[in-house]
Chain A
């Protein structure tokens, strides 16, 4: 039988240990931010945002093409992913038959768990091989495959959160099901739905692996979806593993910009979530 003192001491020790774990975990975010700021802030200048890379070894240049490329990739992937994710989520929440819905949910979780590099292989096989070359579009396809499962799950969850009583009220007024969904259910869940989509965007903004052999890379300007394109994450990777100190410097700056973008998206999603059009009812 342990004495009360020993028990109390054990409790305090464990409290100390677990808070230490928390301290380590939480402070790592600040460490990451701090390190990036320390190494990258100085390199964020006008040139970084407006110039294209200089040839390897030369000092200077910027990542304008990578930034624009990333924006274009994200926009294209979101354009393809939102309708699919949203409508599939509507199906699961509003129309789904018992068995088929289970199959869809299971498959969505499966797709969600596919390693991002394997998603890259899929997009490569579907787009790069037939076209014969890398393209921004292939990268967007890969990103949309990662986007879709997140969009589906969040859409389904937030639509199901809408109280059944609202659907009943609408149907009792003689509204058909599709109008009930469009005019009552979806508007009631609009904030959370937006949050779900934002989180999916935040996820694909930072993805690198699936782009390595789909959108590949490009040292020059390219806006066309049918040609390879530079993107921020891939450029960071290339620069980081290169032997050039100037490229390392730029990699830090790019890392800072990318992290800021991803964190901003996540925080916005969180804010959007808390401004739900409340149905306190």
Chain B
């Protein structure tokens, strides 16, 4: 064991020498990682700060009435957010009305009714869909969807549902409906994958209990699984809403860019993200720029609130919470 003790002596000596350095190592690692973690706080604070600071002109000029004002005129210097809030909300709602049932139906199929291997493979495809860039959806929407809406979809809608103000007026293809449809397609993969996870998280015993009582597969899903996963699915929809509200490129390309409020879905409109995208680099006056940034602030606040709500819902999944 002589060799061991010489090495031991060496290592012991080195250990003594390294002892202090090692404590430094731990302390240094802590400080370093802490610094970078704090950087995230700083970045987020900067977002808020810059949004507030750069919108100062507009906020001072218009105050709270900015949110309710309908006029948007860079020439006269009149700026109001309402048309954009309207466009943003309407297109997102259309997206949810179309996308939520579609996404949920897909999720139910993938989690409850399909065999595991097929479900995994198809889920992978759905997740790839979620990764498709917005500008590509916009490209397809512009050249494939819009002509389709112009003829025959919108005229058909007008024929069947024209009694509703939603489906009246000239059908140009571009407009709120086009934006809503492309948003729906973009939002479906997200709703599907998050809802599917919520459904898969329902304990097997719940399904088995229903089936053991003689329920069919579908009945078990409808009356037991879905209610159990209710808040998770609700959360998924809210989070999807937040994404739709913030979507920029695809919407910009097909919404029609008209800062006015029309009741018809066929009419052109404008969303907050779209107007910022289009006018930011062309704003001549500081007030115009400031108004655009204030719009950004409005969008930020809306998405933070909706996201927060969605996250809360997702956290609330669990037994007993499905029933109120």
Residues of A within 8 A of B (CB): 7-8, 10-11, 14-15, 17-22, 24-26, 28-29, 32, 35-36, 39, 83-84, 87-88, 90-92, 94-96, 100, 103-104, 107-111, 113-119, 121-122, 124-126, 145, 148-149, 152, 176-179, 181, 202-203, 205-209, 212-213, 216, 233, 236-237, 240-241, 248, 251-252, 255, 258-259, 262-263, 266-267, 270
Contact = CB atoms under 8 A, between A and B. Distances in A.
A30 B108 CA distance: 21
B139 A117 contact: no
A177 B54 contact: no
A133 to B, nearest CB: 12
A258 B133 contact: yes
Given A95-B30, A181-B29, 9 more contacts: A11-B218, A26-B126, A88-B36, A103-B41, A104-B40, A178-B28, A179-B22, A208-B248, A209-B277
A117 B276 contact: yes
A92 B105 CA distance: 37
A206 B44 contact: no
Contact of B46 (A116, A126, A241): A126
Interface residues of B, number: 86
A21 B136 contact: no
Interface string B34-49: 1111111101101100
B17 to A, nearest CB: 14
A114 B299 CA distance: 9
Interface string B170-185: 0000000000000001
Contact of A91 (B36, B106, B245, B273): B36
A116 B248 CA distance: 8
Contacts, number: 251
A18 B192 contact: no
Contact of B113 (A19, A108, A240): A19
B139 A236 contact: yes
29 contacts: A11-B216, A17-B105, A19-B113, A21-B101, A22-B106, A24-B102, A25-B189, A83-B36, A88-B36, A92-B37, A104-B40, A110-B304, A113-B307, A114-B303, A115-B248, A115-B273, A116-B248, A117-B296, A118-B296, A122-B46, A145-B43, A176-B25, A178-B26, A178-B29, A206-B135, A208-B133, A213-B281, A237-B253, A263-B128
Interface in B108-129: 108-110, 113-114, 122, 124-129
B37 A88 contact: yes
Contact of B33 (A7, A28, A94): A94
Given A18-B105, A84-B36, A117-B246, A259 B47 contact: no
B124 to A, nearest CB: 7
Contacts of B25: 176, 178-179
Interface string B69-96: 0000000000000000000000000000
Contacts of A149: 40
B212 to A, nearest CB: 16
A113 B105 CA distance: 26
B138 A240 contact: yes
B138 A237 contact: yes
Nearest to A10: B218
Contacts of A28: 129, 185
Majority SS at the chain A contact face: helix
A26 B125 contact: yes
Interface of B: 22-23, 25-26, 28-30, 32-41, 43-44, 46-47, 50-51, 53-54, 101-106, 108-110, 113-114, 122, 124-129, 131-140, 142-144, 185, 188-189, 192, 216-219, 221-222, 242, 245-246, 248-249, 252-253, 273, 276-277, 280-281, 293, 296, 299-300, 303-304, 307, 311
B47 A25 contact: no
B290 to A, nearest CB: 11
A263 B131 contact: yes
Given A7-B216, A216-B281, A233-B133, A18 B34 contact: no
Contacts of A241: 142, 253
A125 B50 contact: yes
B54 A15 contact: no
B138 A29 contact: no
Given A25-B102, A35-B144, A113 B242 contact: yes
Q: Which 4 A-B pairs have the closest CB atoms?
A: A206-B133, A21-B105, A115-B246, A91-B33
A7 to B, nearest CB: 5
Contacts of B242: 113
Given A10-B218, A90-B33, A266-B128, A116 B135 contact: no
Contact of B299 (A96, A118, A251): A118
A88 B33 contact: yes
A236 B102 contact: no
Nearest to B246: A115
Nearest to B124: A270
B296 A25 contact: no
A81 to B, nearest CB: 11
B233 to A, nearest CB: 14
